[in-house]
Amino acid sequence: MFSRCNKLVSSQSTAQKSVWSCLRSLIKNDYATEATFESKPFKLHRLDSGPSTKSTITSDEAIEMYKQTQMIRRIETAAGNLYKEKIIRGFCHLYSGQEAVAVGMKSVMRPQDSAISAYRVHGWTYLMGVSALGVLAELTGRKSGCCRGKGGSMHMYATNFYGGNGIVGAQVPLGAGVAFANKYTENGGVCFALYGDGASNQGQVFEVYNMAKLWNLPVIFVCENNGYGMGTSTERSSASPNFYTRGDYIPGIWVDGMDILAVREATRFGIEYCTSGKGPLVMEAATYRYSGHSMSDPGTSYRTREEIQEVRQTRDPITSFKEKIINAGLVSADLLKKIDVEVKAEVDAAVKIAKSEAEIGLDELANDIYSNDLEKEIRSTTPFLFYKHNNSSGKTPINL
Amino acid sequence: MAVVIFGFKIIRKLAEDTFILNGHHIWHRKSFSSFKSLWAKQMTVRDALNSALDEELKRDERVFLIGEEVALYNGAYKVSKGLLDKYGSKRLVDTPISEQGFAGIAVGAALNGLRPICEFMTWNFSMQAIDQIINSAAKTFYMSGGMLGAPIVFRGPNGASAGVAAQHSQCYAAWYSHCPGLKVLSPYNCEDCRGLLKAAIRDPDPVVFLEHELQYSVTYPVSDQALSEDFVLEIGKAYIERHGKHVTLAAHAKEVQTCLDAAKELAGQGIECEVINLRSLRPLDMETICKSVAKTNNLITVEGGWPQCGIGSEISARIMESESFFLLDSPVIRVTGVDVPMPYAKNLETIVQPKPLNIITVVKKILGVRGKVSSISL
Ligand SMILES: Cc1ncc(C[n+]2csc(CCOP(=O)(O)OP(=O)(O)O)c2C)c(N)n1
Ligand SMILES: [Mg+2]
């Protein structure tokens, strides 16, 4: 135990702190309460110094992050199965393989910070406060869905989570707009605008790079580089695959997106940078998607099965994190097993409801087109039947 | 040939039945000429489009296909399957996800003598590029006083799909047919797809070509004539899919099928619908519609798009502005998509698009009111 603690810490002050925690926990229950980990170096663009490659977490934080990654993985596995059973329809984009990006970021986001992403958002929606049931029932289009089944896989929202956008790239200006409002109201919040390597080639991304820097908006442009935009590899889509440098005049960081703690430190650095008034940052998180682009894409015509296998075996974000925290003595393998069982039970229960529950009633079809519903009657397919236009929740929208 | 084998009576009987071919597609038969198609080649809409692209790429070196996933991936909906292998990466150009950029590049190439086919993975994404379509492609010939043309085809899947919610399920027919300078085509079956796509590619003007996403895997017969490499349909002409005397149903794309299904049902109740497949939304073939109205005195338009400023609105207005107005026995009625963004939940999604039942209800209502068909109880 002792030697392990020592081995894991290298910087002086953290070393002292960790050794102390180790000692304390040894007396208590034989497990460390805190440990420090070293991550791969970051790549920097127009920055003199970057995030710390050392990350210190408590055992509670480790447990929380572990649970979140497992939860996302399980939700996605369940979603995949529900799709195969034809209970989830249309598009269904899974986040499996990319969990570390969301979990690492969320672990240091403050209550005033927010995020927006594209259509691969089941995991983000969960992290931003929606239950597994809220996500899964949205996927099956049922009542308990976080958007009452009206949005489906690509369109989920939560407090401080602005979606859920199906139009590649469109979320990036929106994220800059959320940051604009943060700056305007001086609420101190930072907005994370996430987009893929494919989306990075949309013109509107470059338009808002410019405005965000011009006006020093507190926005972090997070490019989740999973190697492919649908069937197109980054080499085939992007003249420069160094996404962290593509903001040119905006400083950038490359981070290993398979390492929760590296993402955590990069995000922490980003928040400090933005809140000190220096303006936007670009953060490229190198990651990988295990499944096809969406459930209808087998995902093997443009990459090899071996490539997928290799990433799963050598870079899996959950396996590596699990090993790290067990080896550091932060948690026991038994505890993690217990968490796995709990997560499975929660997701299984959610699946059950998401499968069996009813959809919202037809009377809600024409609800929520406007929040001030001046058109009380909404035309059906013919002029002989009209639907009532109401607001479903009866509550004021969270931003109005 | 059919006559020789069966004799006329049997043909009539068969001709009025519904056939299920290839186990999945149902279509209706009403005349000797289409009976011939029982022996015609069967094809999916996807293959019809693929073959038209193939033949036009072969015919004209200046023709190339550009868009997302069109080459290596064979098209997101596999419409360009096999074409990269045949024509190489000079003629099949995979682009990054940059609609405004590659649509602009395609228009520029057209201005400089090429014949681009610009694919939008779906028309939903054309909104990123709508400026290049309208301001650059549609208006250049006019703005240049006839000096510079823009021979380009913009194509891709359009209309309500299944289970993909509001941003990926909508019809652009009304949007684009609003604009002078564009020709707008909306094919229904395989022959439409082959004849109209070839016509579009050979046309000197910018053409918006709206393929219906849910039609790609549907099978239709294709006549020998339509299989010819030079089978080209005239742009701006509608086609009467079914003749009838009581009411005219004018529709485009998948909704033609909805009308045919309704017409079939109504025929059993003594109501004969004339079903017009509009094919071309700009120019709009008002001549065919007006002639039909002169015969039936009743008109219903059917479309998947929203009602306000839709294709049906335009047809109704033009009827009002013409002599045909005086020939109507009842008001023109629009059957349209429900006036809401597309919901994801299946029960809601199902009622958003026009169904045969909606058409049947409207037909009965307008005919019943006029008391024209006595055999119908309302
Ligand atoms: C404007 C627009 N163009 C095209 C599409 C179709 N499309 C959906 S996802 C996608 C690939 C995006 O890849 P990337 O940004 O790398 O994100 P990833 O799927 O890898 O998470 C494409 C082309 C779309 N939804 N919106
Ligand atoms: Mg990607």
* CATH number of the domain located at residue range(s) A30-360 in this protein: 3.40.50.970
> B103-127 pLDDT, tens per residue?
999 999 999 999 999 999 999 999 9
Domain ranges in chain A? 30-360, 361-399
Instruction: Please tell me whether the peptide bond between A164 and the residue prior to it is cis, using omega within 30 degrees of 0.
Output: yes
Class of the domain covering B239-367? alpha beta
Which of A190, A226, A197 lies closest to A105 in space, CA to CA?
Answer: A190
Binary contact (B338, A237; C-beta < 8 A): no
Q: How far is CA B320 from the centre of its chain?
A: 24
- Looking at residue A18, its amino acid is S
Q: How far is the CA of A197 from the centre of ligand 1 (A)?
A: 9
- What was the pLDDT predicted at B374? 37
Q: Could you give the CA distance from residue A165 to residue B176 in angstroms, rounded to a whole number?
A: 24
**Annotated catalytic residue B55:** no
Q: Could you give the CA distance from residue A165 to residue A160 in angstroms, rounded to a whole number?
A: 15
Cβ neighbours of B13 (radius 10 Å)? 10
Sequential DSSP letters for B70-111: SSTT--TTSTTTTHHHHHHHHHEEE--S-HHHHHHHHHHHHH
- What was the pLDDT predicted at A398? 87
Contact A114, A189 (CB under 8 A): yes
Sequential DSSP letters for A316-331: -HHHHHHHHHHHTTSS
Helix/strand/coil for B264: helix
- Cβ neighbours of A91 in B, within 8 Å: 163-164, 168
Name B145's Cβ contacts closer than 8 Å, sequence gap at least 6.
none
Give the chain B residue whose CA is nearest to the CA of A231. B73
- Cβ neighbours of B162 in A, within 8 Å: 89-90
- What was the pLDDT predicted at B20? 28
- What was the pLDDT predicted at A29? 61
Q: Which of B72, B165, B344 sits opposite A231 (nearest CB)?
A: B72
Q: Which of A89, A359, A378 sits opposite B163 (nearest CB)?
A: A89
* Tens digit of each residue's pLDDT, chain A (400 residues): 333 443 343 333 444 445 445 444 444 467 889 999 999 999 999 999 999 999 999 999 999 999 999 999 999 999 999 999 999 999 999 999 999 999 999 999 999 999 999 999 999 999 999 999 999 999 999 999 999 999 999 999 999 999 999 999 999 999 999 999 999 999 999 999 999 999 999 999 999 999 999 999 999 999 999 999 999 999 999 999 999 999 999 999 999 999 999 999 999 999 999 999 999 999 999 999 999 999 999 999 999 999 999 999 999 999 999 999 999 999 999 999 999 999 999 999 999 999 999 999 999 999 999 999 899 999 999 999 999 999 887 778 889 8
Average pLDDT, chain B: 90
Q: How far is the CA of A285 from the centre of ligand 2 (A)?
A: 11
> B1-52 pLDDT, tens per residue?
233 333 333 333 333 332 223 333 333 333 444 455 556 799 999 999 999 9
> Matching CATH topology for B42-227 and B239-367?
yes
Whether the CB of A227 sits within 6 Å of ligand 1: no
Furthest CA-CA distance within chain B: 64
Q: How much is the pTM?
A: 0.91
Q: Point out the ligand 1 atom lying closest to the alpha carbon of residue A202.
A: 1
* CATH number of the domain located at residue range(s) B42-227 in this protein: 3.40.50.970
Can you list the alpha helix ranges (DSSP code H) found in chain A?
Answer: 2-8, 12-28, 59-84, 99-106, 122-127, 132-140, 171-185, 203-214, 234-237, 260-273, 305-315, 317-327, 333-356
Whether the CB of B128 sits within 6 Å of ligand 1: yes
Q: Give the end-to-end CA distance of chain A in Å, rounded to a whole number.
A: 54
Q: How far is the CA of A197 from the centre of ligand 2 (A)?
A: 5
Nearest-CA distance A182 → chain B (Å): 27
Its ipTM equals 0.92
* Touching A: B residues 113-132, CB under 8 Å: 124-125, 127-128
Sequential DSSP letters for B135-163: IIIITHHHHTTTS-----EEEEEEB--SS
**Could you say which of B168, B229, B265, B272 is catalytic?**
B168
Q: How far is CA A40 from the centre of its chain?
A: 21
Helix/strand/coil for B245: coil
- What was the pLDDT predicted at A4? 40
Domain ranges in chain B? 42-227, 239-367
> B138-176 pLDDT, tens per residue?
999 999 999 999 999 999 999 999 999 999 999 999 999
Contact A297, A327 (CB under 8 A): no
